[in-house]
Amino acid sequence: NAGVTQTPKFQVLKTGQSMTLQCAQDMNHEYMSWYRQDPGMGLRLIHYSVGAGITDQGEVPNGYNVSRSTTEDFPLRLLSAAPSQTSVYFCASLTAGGPEAFFGQGTRLTVV
Amino acid sequence: GESVGLHLPTLSVQEGDNSIINCAYSNSASDYFIWYKQESGKGPQFIIDIRSNMDKRQGQRVTVLLNKTVKHLSLQIAATQPGDSAVYFCAEIETYNFNKFYFGSGTKLNVKP
């Protein structure tokens, strides 16, 4: 049972490039979320999904898109990378009844 | 990747001592609180949760206390071990909406052997 798998683990982008961070879970969880973590701060919610075909914005959605075509996958797309998007990104999944969220290992993204 | 830790408050304790990590929350409508542990290079891991209608909950070597009057949450770790060294975050949830966790900024726990 792999849990929540994120790829890649590390990525360097140039300003203006686009890319997709992948997230997959094998626990059949309804809920999935993306967070970013910056130095000295807690995790902040970017986007979330309550099920396939349903997504919504979190606290800091600007510059990111998501889609949820299957229960298992929840990719995060950076449309035009900016240095302010340099961060560590975490994907999480949990059942609708909560409360335990399972997090991936994170993707460290640097935008230069 | 590395866990956040550059500018976090740090608590240093001796191995075997008890640790108390504190968290202040802001939303009086929050009705669920959760503690997470994040080791270097890993994602957060669930430790324990408490509902707003409780003031204390115990797990294995951990106790969470909730004081809604002053909006304060604490995590007590008994007989702290080197493996407890990590960054600890509290998270609050409003109206049992488990989609949205609001995390505090975290406390780094250093356990000295």
Looking at per-residue pLDDT, the higher value among B28 and A55 belongs to A55
Of all residues in chain B, the percent with pLDDT exceeding 70 is 93
pLDDT in tens, B30-81: 888 999 999 998 999 999 999 999 999 999 999 999 999 999 999 999 999 9
Q: Which of residues 56-85 of B touch A (CB under 8 A)?
A: none
What is the C-alpha to C-alpha distance for residues B7 and B28, in angstroms, rounded to an integer? 27
Q: Which of B37, B92, B101 is the best mutation test for A, with the most CBs of A within 10 A?
A: B101
Specify the pLDDT at position B98. Answer: 75
Q: Shortest Cα distance from A33 to chain B (angstroms)? A: 7
Burial class (CB in 10 A: 0-12, 13-18, 19+), B69: exposed
> Taking Cα atoms as reference points, which of A99, A37, A16 lies closest to residue B99?
A99
Cβ atoms within 10 Å of A35's Cβ, excluding its own: 27
Q: Using CA atoms in the order B24, B28, B33, B36, what is the torsion angle rounded to 10 degrees?
A: -40
DSSP A85: G
B70 Cβ contact partners less than 8 Å away, ≥ 6 residues apart:
none
- Check A41 against B2: CB less than 8 A apart: no
Question: How much is the mean pLDDT over chain B?
Answer: 89
Pairing of strands B19-24, A107-111: unpaired
| Candidate from B45, B99, B105 with C-beta closest to A33 | B99
Pairing of strands A54-57, A102-103: unpaired
Specify the pLDDT at position A1. Answer: 63
Q: Which of residues 14-33 of A touch B (CB under 8 A)?
A: 31, 33
pLDDT band at A40 (very low <50, low <70, confident <90, very high): confident
Measuring CA to CA, how many Å separate A52 from each of A33, A48, A73, A98, B17?
Answer: 12, 11, 9, 18, 47
- Check A108 against B2: CB less than 8 A apart: yes
Q: Which residues of B touch A99 (CB under 8 A)?
A: 32, 34, 46, 49, 93, 98
What is the C-alpha to C-alpha distance for residues A102 and A93, in angstroms, rounded to an integer? 5
pLDDT in tens, A58-99: 999 999 999 999 999 999 999 999 999 999 999 999 988 888
